[in-house]
Amino acid sequence: MTTALRRLRNYIDGEFRDAADGRTTKVVNPATGEPYATAPLSGSEDVDAAMAAAEAAFPAWRDLIPAERQKVLLKIADRFEERAEELIAAESENCGKPIALVRSEEIPPMVDQIRFFAGAARMLEGRSAGEYMDGFTSIIRREPVGVCAQVAPWNYPMMMAVWKFAPALAAGNTVVIKPSDTTPASTVLIADIIGSVLDELGHPRGVFNVVCGDRETGRLMVEHKVPAMASITGSVRAGMQVAESASKDLKRVHLELGGKAPVVVFEDTDIAKAVEDIATAGYFNAGQDCTAATRVLVQESIHDEFVAALAKAASETKTGAVDDEDVLYGPLNNANQLKQVKGFIERLPAHAKIEAGGEQVGEKGYFFAPTVVSGLKQDDEIVQQEVFGPVITVQSFADEKQAVEWANGVEYALASSVWTKDHARAMRMSKVLDFGCVWINTHIPLVAEMPHGGFKKSGYGKDLSAYGFDDYTRIKHVMTSLDG
């Protein structure tokens, strides 16, 4: 007996639609390895339709006073809370995530972030008007950039959609967003929520559009003539491709890419507390987080004790079914990602030692055991490249100078953390660590008011905060003669 697959559809100009040419792709639940839905494999006709809808809706949405856009976002946040269980179920099926953790760790911050940007809509700041030339007054206008083409990732498809649409809509832009081809379900549900709010409040239906598809669909969106801005959260390779495509007509680009966060642990650290927090920050969401605490640098005097404690913590960390409230994380997102994580373990150099884990778990789905690898050198592949899995590496450093050199000695620069009781050392490290975020004696907390974004191959532009809001606006200088 074959179970019928659920049919997901694009959301364009206020209507749910199949791909124009009828093409679909199967969507797999990573906890089972079995397909549960089909989604459109959208082509140029679908992208054209979505962009036309967003372009047509833009003038009216742009011209709303900020208080009206705030009302829309606040109602969207309320609706997220009202339909939380639907969102939780969709995201759990999308990603195989534990239901309890989606409920506690994703829904509340998403709602808070939407409400933050609802407030930001009314807080556009600029330098004061004034006379900088005799007989003339200068004014600064802050304006939306236009239609935004947005591509969301598969590790946090629901939350990353919020990070993209909330500041864009708050600033007066209209949106065409593409979820990952492996995780479209929650974004399609978000379209239903936002569409219903826009309809209720009498706003243009094309303000928010969802186009499902693969990399080719994303390329068509980025290269389309309508969007003024392209935003992507994804791999470095994808970011480079987007930047190259957008350069053909000088689109603005917002890139949040990979990470290889150093976790620098000094000898005066409370080892038990550090291990507990680092294990959680390294294994949460199966390590599929650009800021995950997966590259640990430990001062050599406490190295052995720390590794033993971390290996014990890994052995006590559970992965498993979505309805098991004792698990910390679910499966890797897809078969390709499981293959990638396995490949890093299989290619470990002879001097590396697997202290815990290192293997797939279970007979179905894409589960991987919490893993600790020690004995590594700075130029090892697993130290330099993003694993994006539940694998924590450990290196031993001699002194602060070497810790800084190794921490900064990768191509990524998104996030980092320092663990020490020495305040002066923490301040020195926060100055010299070349990362967009430095946590001290913690790792991974985020708040809506503070920016998230990196340097180097981790991309450019900020998510969250007033800085993230600024990225979706443009600056215009208006000068008027005082002669009348």
pLDDT per residue of the chain (484 residues) written in tens, 0 to 9: 456 899 999 999 999 999 999 999 999 999 999 999 999 999 999 999 999 999 999 999 999 999 999 999 999 999 999 999 999 999 999 999 999 999 999 999 999 999 999 999 998 877 788 999 999 999 999 999 999 999 999 999 999 999 999 999 999 999 999 999 999 999 999 999 999 999 999 999 999 999 999 999 999 999 999 999 999 999 999 999 999 999 999 999 999 999 999 999 999 999 999 999 999 999 999 999 999 999 999 999 999 999 999 999 999 999 999 999 999 999 999 999 999 999 999 999 999 999 999 999 998 999 999 999 999 999 999 999 999 999 999 999 999 999 999 999 999 999 999 999 999 999 999 999 999 999 999 999 999 999 999 999 999 999 999 999 999 999 999 999 999 7
pTM: 0.96
The count of structural domains within the chain is 2
Helix 185-201 / helix 84-95 crossing angle, nearest 10 deg = 150
- 1 domain-assigned: no
Question: Quick one: which of 160, 214, 151 has its CA closest to 178?
Answer: 151
Burial of 281 per CB tally in 10 Å (0-12, 13-18, 19+) = buried
Do 6 and 37 meet the contact criterion of CB atoms below 8 Å apart?
Answer: yes
Reference 208, options 238, 237, 166, 236; nearest CA is 166
Question: Which tokens belong to 121?
Answer: 């809509």
Identify the helix (H) or strand (E) that includes residue 7.
strand 6-7
Return the CATH number at 354: 3.40.309.10
Listing DSSP states for 159-206 in one string gives HHHHHHHHHHHHTT-EEEEE--TT--HHHHHHHHHHHHHHHHHT--GG
Residue 206, both tokens: 């094309």
Same domain, 253 and 266: no
135: left (phi over 0), alpha (psi -120 to 50) or beta: left
**Amino acid at site 454:** G
- The reply to whether 268 and 394 lie within a common domain is yes
Same domain, 355 and 435: yes
Strands (E), 257-308: 262-265, 295-299
For residues 403 and 439, membership in a common domain is answered with: yes
Report the catalytic residues: 256, 290
Backbone φ, ψ for residue 127 (5° rounding): -65, 150
Residue 215 lies in a domain: yes
Are residue 353 and residue 292 in the same domain, yes or no?
A: yes
Dihedral pair phi/psi, residue 26, rounded to 5°: -80, 145
Tell me, what amino acid is at 414? L
Domain hosting 432: range is 262-447
Residues 368 and 443 in one domain: yes
Q: Does one domain contain both 403 and 469?
A: no
Give the SS3 label for residue 341.
helix
37: in domain: yes
The tokens for 6 are 């659920």
The Cα–Cα gap between 242 and 151 comes to: 10
Instruction: Give 3-state DSSP helix, strand, coil % of the chain, rounded to 5.
Output: 40, 25, 35
- CATH number where 74 lies: 3.40.605.10
Give the pLDDT confidence score for residue 2 in this predicted structure: 53
Helix and strand element counts for the chain (H, E): 16, 25
pLDDT for 1 = 45
Q: Round to whole Å and give the CA distance between 271 and 296.
A: 13
Does residue 286 share a domain with residue 178? no
Residue 452 lies in a domain: no
Farthest-apart Cα atoms in the chain, separation:
83
Asked whether residue 385 falls in the same domain as residue 440, the answer is yes
Taking the C-alpha atoms of residue 98 and residue 79, their distance in angstroms, rounded to an integer, is 22
Q: Is 484 inside any structural domain?
A: no
Q: Is residue 144 part of a domain?
A: yes
Shared domain check, 266 and 251: no
In which region does residue 202 sit, left (phi positive, over 0), alpha (psi from -120 to 50) or beta (all else)? left
> Domain for residue 394, yes or no?
yes
Rounded to 5 degrees, what are φ and ψ at 250? 55, 40
Tokens representing 183 are 């995780």
Spatial distance between the Cα atoms of 332 and 46, rounded to a whole number of angstroms: 30
The sheet that has 130-133: what strands, in order across it? 130-133, 136-144, 473-481
In a domain, 453, yes or no: no
Question: In what side-by-side order are the strands of the sheet with 24-29?
Answer: 6-7, 34-40, 24-29
Identify the three-state secondary structure at position 228: coil
First to last CA, the chain: 81
What pLDDT is stored for residue 346 in this prediction?
Answer: 98
Asked if 414 and 432 sit in the same domain, the reply is: yes
| Inter-residue contact 394 to 372 (CB < 8 Å) | yes
Residue type, 307: V
Residue 230 shares a structural domain with residue 373 = no
